Amino acid sequence: MEGDALAGGAYNPFQHPLVFVLDDYLAGKPSADGGRQGAYANHSSVEESFVSNQEHQIALQVVQQRRKLPPVLNDKALFTRAATYGDRADQSYHAPSNRIGVHYSPASMAAAGMLFEEFPQDPQAPRTKAGTSPKALGEVCSSYSSNRPISPNHTGPLSPPAAAGRPVRPNHAQSRASTTTLMSQSASLHQQLMQQHAGDQLTQQQQHQGQPWQAGSPMAADEAAIVDALLRYHYYAEMGIDPRQVAPFREEWVGNALSMVPNEPPPNVSQAFFDDFISNSLDEVRSDYTKAMQKAIVDYVIASPLERQRLGLEGLEPLLVPRNLGRGPLGPSLGLSSHQRVVQRQLPKDWHEHVMLAREDIAWTLQTLSPNALELSRLWHECGYASARLLDVATVDLLERLPVKADWFRGYQQSATEQVKGQLWSHWLPKCLDVFRRLPPVPINGDTDAYFRAVATLQSNQLRGLVSNTLQDYLAFFRQHKAVHPLDPQQDQQLWSCLPVFEMDLTATIQGRVGFEPSVQDAQVAVLSVVEAAVYAALGLPKISPASISNSTLSAPPAVTNAAALASNPTVISGTALNENFVQNTVKELLAILEANQAAPLELAALFEPYLYLLQLNPELYAYSFAEGAGGKDAPDLTKFGAEIERLQQAAQAVRLLCTESVRTGLYLVQCRKFKDQLIAAAEAAVHDLLDVVCTAARESNLKVFDQYQVMTAEVGKPANSGEEVLALKKLISKCNIDNEKLKEEIAVNKSRDDFLLRFRFPVPDDDFDFARKAYEWPKRFSDVLREAGTKAASEHRQFEGALKARRREFDKRIEQYAAEVAAVEGRADIVKREVVASEVTELQAKLQAAVQEAEEINIQEKMFGWGTTKYGHVSSLLSTLEPYVTLWTTMNDFYNHYAAWMNGPFWKLNPEQVEAESSEAYRKLFKLTKTFGGGTTGEAKQQPLAVAEEGRAKITAFQGYIPLINAVCNQGLRERHWAAIAEVVGFEIKQDEVTSLKRLLDNEIMEHLERVTELSDSASREFSIEKALDKMSADWEGLAFELGTWKNTGTHILKGGPVEEAQMLLDDHVVKSQAMAASPFSKPFEERLVPWEKKLRTFQEMLEEWLTCQGKWLYLEPIFSADEIMKQIPREGTAFRTMDATWRRIMAQVHEQPLMMAVADIPELLDQLKECNRQLDVVEKGLNDFLETKKMAFPRFYFLSNDELLEILSEAKDPLAVQPFVKKCFEAVKELVFEQNGEISGMVSLEGEKITFVERVNPATTGAVESWLLEVEGAIKRTMHSITREALTAYPKTARTTWILQWPGQLVLNGSQVFWTREVTDAIQSGGSKGLSSYAHKCSQELAKLVGLVRGSLTNLERATCGALVVIDVHARDVTSSMAADGVEDVRDFKWESQLRYYWEHHEAPPSGVKAQETIMVRMINAEALYGYEYLGNSGRLVITPLTDRCYRTLMGAIHMNLGGAPAGPAGVHAALAALAGTGLLSLLGE
């Protein structure tokens, strides 16, 4: 290319025109003569050589040659913009001909030009498919470039590229030194290549031996071509590649590099220098990356012969090395034959044509040349989505926080996922749509659907790559955490290269085991759940379609949240599904890592198990319970206490040394400090409370000692006020001496307790020290107190002995005086002075009674001092002698005083009962005294007191004759009409005033008319009783009113129960009394009052009964007919109720205004209104009952509900959830139905908590009536149970039985087990008879043993219930099998086998579940058979199966076979049989 310029001299590579171009470019100056002179100034030796060897004309040609830049690398090939660097793992990977190297090749431009011939710039121009001949490509020009032809075969003129199109390097501040370096490198490389070329061309050298390398020779020309090509090559590597075409540098590479650099600088290195060094190194890495990528692109481009020809790099062909044999196109020499292997290789003639055809076909079918696809790829990379991750495991925010709690990790990852998801929805999708708005889509072959499918595939690959990269990084993050073995609790053996992820606290579980908070299961859930969230995040993004482009809007996120549905939704971009292998493998490996890392935490937890008892201790209760067994809390055994305290302290110390505060176990960092502190605190608390028991015992004992000394000191120091007190003081002093010795022993014990507390360093309160000090000082003080008390007691004893002697002498004198006074009383007989005599004898009696008591006191003191007792019996004798005289004179005095008042006072004020009682009592006493004074048993009469007694008795007898008269005239029932009648009888008027006395009536000879007066008084008494009864009844009703209460939100009132019940009781009593009074002959004076009263009471009683009946029915029906649903279904009854309701409200309004019951009873026509209301309510009730009966007939399970419950359901028919409280009554074993957010019913939950998901959902909204969708629920239950039964029976042979049991509902586990038991027993009989049965019985025992082992393991409550019920069934099955084997059963028709309850899975035309003809469970027993009804029975327990149970089986199966029912009843055994029936499903059959 530079032949003219190089003629006449040896070739100098430093004179190549590209040297100056590079020099100008790197210096940032234009390539003019001035620039050349600057270059010459820096390289004077080159200039001098050039001027001396070249003529001016040649210099001008060189200048022109300098102006010619090498052809620009083609960067406009559309289908190569989306091409990758050949990573086969990349989802956008293309064949080698479509990778980035072809992006700059002429062939790519030819293909693009050919396509643009079909699709011109004008979108309205006609489109025709281009020819497939490679020759046609020579005439095609790219619309994206100048007039330069695209085809390499084109020989037309080339337009020089615009200067503005020259690419700019990233760092355009490079110095001119780079040019010098480049030239020196080129010269050095030139020498090496010449030596290498000389070695490879040994034969040619031998032919030219002795001939120097001179200009114009073949070797010189070859050397010039190579050097020219090398300079061009370095030019392209330095300036020919636009940095924008280089794949962006990934910042995660920086993170990976920095992760291997320590966070802190080495010793003796400053932080500033360290930071600058890191920053400069990273800049150098980025720069080297850009240069390396530019060189790699050039290397790939020049691998094409066509490109080498176009770019003028044919001189490099001798140096090219096959890519599979060296480091690159310009790698080191591979031997003498390398040049020949490269240059002399032969390709098929049609190879290029085939490549072009394949490229065209790819362009037409895969839409690879779409500018939109290139823009989408560029958008994906430039916006950072290629390096984005849905889960963050590499940022500083996370790494600096590690380890973290599982919930925080989960929330953080969810936030990261939502952030990327939000970017996809808010940024990426709109940007993608904007691409199509800016570049209208032009399908390559006119197939719009294929075009948008290709776009969706590109976006799908991008999203799948996002998920794949996320899961790979996420998995790599956890892979670095290897499982720990063995555990290092002291953290002094194992070193860690990475931080733990999760932090857990040791804690105690409710079950009393060592656990973690959060648990390892929580960590598993956190790790695995975010994987699912990440997969979900890339699903559901809408596809770009012509409609979305025209509307400039994307469809809203789909409502479906199921991953499988989203992945298969045709309107959204297909993404990664959860069931894909790499997702499942990722989850499995994560689970394996997590499970492997569980071992060390569990091993650490096991270290604390022996000390868990400390947490179960209630320190206070434990201390007191231990004290009870160690001497009691008041007298603790210090030896036992010491041993227990040392044991607890040793346990606390062992916990301290068990492990470090935090233990690293691989993935988990277990925080043990709080748990250790908890255990230690529990032990220390127990120790403290044990010591506190000792301290409390010492304190209370010291207090007791102190108090006893104080009490004894106070008692012995009290002065004696009597002889008794002196003697008691002496005894106390003796007792205190004994108590003092006991207290000294108690003090010694307390001192040992103090030493015990000091031994264990228990902080004794200061108050306890004060009490102890004071108690310890008392023994010495108390000895002095006792000596002083003894001296004082002896002195007082002598004083009280002398006082007792003086008291005896004085008492004897008084007794002699009392005897004389008693003798004087016996001679008194003057009745006139009865009052004086009565006072004297009463006083004397009191003196004698006091003397008797004093005599007893003297005798007590004599005994106390040890003297003989003095006899004072005559004192009691004097008191007995005086007693009759006291009675005589007091009785006489009292009667005479009453007699005067009775006879002379107003007669109407007398109380007949009191007069009669007092006169009778006085007569009785005097009659008894006449016998006493008349001689009685002694035979000696005392005339004077006898005369007084006889005279008083005679006066009383005379007065008692007036008692009937007093009763007659002092009657309170006498009214004016009675007094008028009495006046007619006696002949004078009797006035009730202060003057008329009994004596005056007697003086008027009223006693002559006593009989008639008595009759009139009796009649008045009877009339008075009727009057009082009427008044009392009226008084009972006064103020009695109805109490009304507002009824809910109805706006009216109802009667409350209290006053109504009281009124009912009064009515019952008063009506009977009124009837009795009306029948009395003495009721005539009250007839006008009594008859209306009786009628009013009867009317009110009937009214109240009607009222309460009406209110009860109204309360029952009002909420029912308040519901619009009920009114719509029974309008006639609703209208009748509305009419009655208006009457009811009017009545209650009247009562509310006037609530008094007697006033309400007077309301006119109230009773008739209430009767009419009840008649209307009867009509309503009948219609309502008929309506309910139709509902029950539609859904017979409504018969299990009361009418009230059914009406509550019907009144809330629009709310299906209103049925929830009554589900367990309609479906016996169902606790509740599972309602989804959209209102559909998706399953049911049993009473035991077992959840069953329906195979088909029930939508109450579409069904309408509640009885209709409940029927659908019933059918769904049966179909679900049938479907699950089929699945369970299918899985039984494929799964271990112990595993199968835990995978299916309990009811179907029992049924499925019975089906296979029947099948296997039948096979055993048919194959081996009784021997086969014996062998199968052994297998049953083995299965039973496995089941028992399963029960003993860790199971949930539901699983344990299932296994427990199955154990009962399996035991019975084993016993039956063993029994038939022992009985020699050889035929399946043997009665012993046919009499068993057998389950078969057989085809049936009409299964009870309502599905099409298919297999179902058939139950047989003897000659009876029945279809299994699939009624859900829950997962309840089972009782043992007895012979009585088998009898129930046979009886009920026979009944079912004959379409009859059964109701077993009997003793306790029958109840057990019924419980066993539930396990067999016979109750389900009976339900059918």
Q: Smallest Cα–Cα separation from 523: which of 671, 667, 406, 666?
A: 406
**What share of the chain has pLDDT > 70, as a percent?**
79
User: Structure pTM?
Assistant: 0.41
Measured CA to CA, the distance from residue 1028 to residue 559 in angstroms comes to 86
The rounded Cα 992 to chain-centroid distance in angstroms is: 90
- A 10 A CB-CB count for 325 gives 12
Q: What is the pLDDT of residue 72?
A: 54
Task: Tell me the average pLDDT across 790-806.
Answer: 76
Task: Tell me the average pLDDT across 169-198.
Answer: 43
892 neighbors 948 (Cβ within 8 angstroms): yes
pLDDT digits (tens, 9 = 90+) for 608-660: 888 888 887 888 888 878 878 777 777 788 888 888 888 888 988 888 888 88
Measured CA to CA, the distance from residue 1085 to residue 1075 in angstroms comes to 16
1299: tokens are: 């595993």
Q: What is the CA radius of gyration of the chain?
A: 62
Q: What is the pLDDT of residue 178?
A: 43
Q: What is the pLDDT of residue 203?
A: 38
Q: How confident is the model at residue 497 (pLDDT cuts 50, 70, 90)?
A: confident
Long-range contacts (CB closer than 8 Å, 24 or more residues apart) made by 1005-1009: 1006/965, 1006/969, 1007/962, 1007/965, 1009/985
- CA distances 1480 to 85, 1363, 1448, Å, are 69, 15, 12
Measured CA to CA, the distance from residue 900 to residue 903 in angstroms comes to 5
Residue 1322 has pLDDT above 90, yes or no: yes
- A 10 A CB-CB count for 1253 gives 11
Q: Smallest Cα–Cα separation from 644: which of 594, 609, 599, 694?
A: 694
Residue 560 has pLDDT above 70, yes or no: no
| Residue bearing the bigger pLDDT, 69 or 329 | 69
Q: At what angle do helices 429-438 and 371-382 cross, to 10 degrees?
A: 150
Q: What is the pLDDT of residue 538?
A: 86
304: tokens are: 């094409």
Give me the DSSP letters along 898-946.
HHHHHHHSBGGG--HHHHHHHHHHHHHHHHHHHHHHT-TTTT---HHHH
1145: tokens are: 């409200």
E strands within 1291-1375?
none
Residue 217 has pLDDT above 70, yes or no: no
Give me the DSSP letters along 1195-1248.
SGGGGGS-HHHHHHHHHTTT-GGGGGGGHHHHSTTEEEEEE-TTS-EEEEEETT
633-671: burial string, b at 16+ Cβ within 10 Å, e else: beebbbeebeebbeebbebbeebeebbbeebbbbbbbbb
1427 neighbors 1483 (Cβ within 8 angstroms): no
Residue 778 has pLDDT above 50, yes or no: yes
pLDDT digits (tens, 9 = 90+) for 469-492: 999 999 898 888 888 777 888 877
Measured CA to CA, the distance from residue 561 to residue 543 in angstroms comes to 17
Q: What is the pLDDT of residue 444?
A: 65
Q: How confident is the model at residue 1417 (pLDDT cuts 50, 70, 90)?
A: very high
Q: What is the pLDDT of residue 171?
A: 38
Q: Element (H or E) spanning 1418, and its range?
A: strand 1414-1421
Residue 566 has pLDDT above 70, yes or no: no
Backbone angles phi, psi at 740, to 5 degrees: -60, -40
Q: What is the pLDDT of residue 805?
A: 79
Long-range contacts (CB closer than 8 Å, 24 or more residues apart) made by 705-708: 705/743, 705/746, 705/747, 705/750, 705/775, 705/778, 706/771, 706/774, 706/775, 706/778, 708/739, 708/743
Q: What is the pLDDT of residue 1358?
A: 87
1248 neighbors 1434 (Cβ within 8 angstroms): yes
Residue 184 has pLDDT above 80, yes or no: no
Please report where in the chains the tokens 């320590």 appear, as a residue.
Answer: 262
Q: How confident is the model at residue 366 (pLDDT cuts 50, 70, 90)?
A: low
| Residue bearing the bigger pLDDT, 244 or 1388 | 1388
Question: Which amino acid does the sequence have at 671?
Answer: Q
Task: Tell me the average pLDDT across 1163-1170.
Answer: 86
Q: What is the pLDDT of residue 552?
A: 66
Q: What is the pLDDT of residue 748?
A: 85
Measured CA to CA, the distance from residue 216 to residue 3 in angstroms comes to 9
Q: What is the pLDDT of residue 1289?
A: 92
1479: tokens are: 């396990």
pLDDT digits (tens, 9 = 90+) for 640-649: 888 888 888 8
| Residue bearing the bigger pLDDT, 814 or 1316 | 1316
Report which listed range, 142-151, 525-534, 1074-1083, 1441-1450, is most confident: 525-534
- CA distances 1339 to 106, 1332, 1441, Å, are 80, 11, 20
465: tokens are: 């790559």
684: tokens are: 């220390």
| Residue bearing the bigger pLDDT, 590 or 561 | 590
Measured CA to CA, the distance from residue 461 to residue 451 in angstroms comes to 15
Q: Which burial class, exposed, middle or buried, applies to 253 when counting CB atoms under 10 A from its CB (0-12, 13-18, 19+)?
A: middle
Q: What is the pLDDT of residue 118?
A: 40
Task: Tell me the average pLDDT across 304-320.
Answer: 77
Give me the DSSP letters along 877-902.
HHHHHHHHHHHHHHHHHHHHHHHHHH
Measured CA to CA, the distance from residue 152 to residue 847 in angstroms comes to 162
Q: What is the pLDDT of residue 954?
A: 87
Task: Tell me the average pLDDT across 833-862.
Answer: 84
| Residue bearing the bigger pLDDT, 79 or 1328 | 1328
pLDDT digits (tens, 9 = 90+) for 1470-1482: 444 444 444 444 4
Q: What is the DSSP letter of 427?
A: I
Q: What's the mean per-residue pLDDT of the chain?
A: 76
Residue 228 has pLDDT above 50, yes or no: yes
Contacts (Cβ under 8 Å, ≥6 apart) of 1102: 1167
Q: What is the pLDDT of residue 2?
A: 38
Q: What is the pLDDT of residue 105?
A: 39
987: tokens are: 């002949």
Q: What is the DSSP letter of 248?
A: P
Residue 185 has pLDDT above 90, yes or no: no
| Residue bearing the bigger pLDDT, 1022 or 514 | 514
**What share of the chain has pLDDT > 90, as a percent?**
7
Strands 1251-1258 and 1044-1046: unpaired
Cross-strand partners of 1420: 1398, 1425
Q: What is the pLDDT of residue 1393?
A: 93
Measured CA to CA, the distance from residue 1239 to residue 117 in angstroms comes to 60
Q: At what angle do helices 56-67 and 33-42 cross, to 10 degrees?
A: 100
169: tokens are: 């390097």
pLDDT digits (tens, 9 = 90+) for 189-210: 444 444 444 444 443 434 333 3
Q: Smallest Cα–Cα separation from 778: which of 717, 713, 681?
A: 713
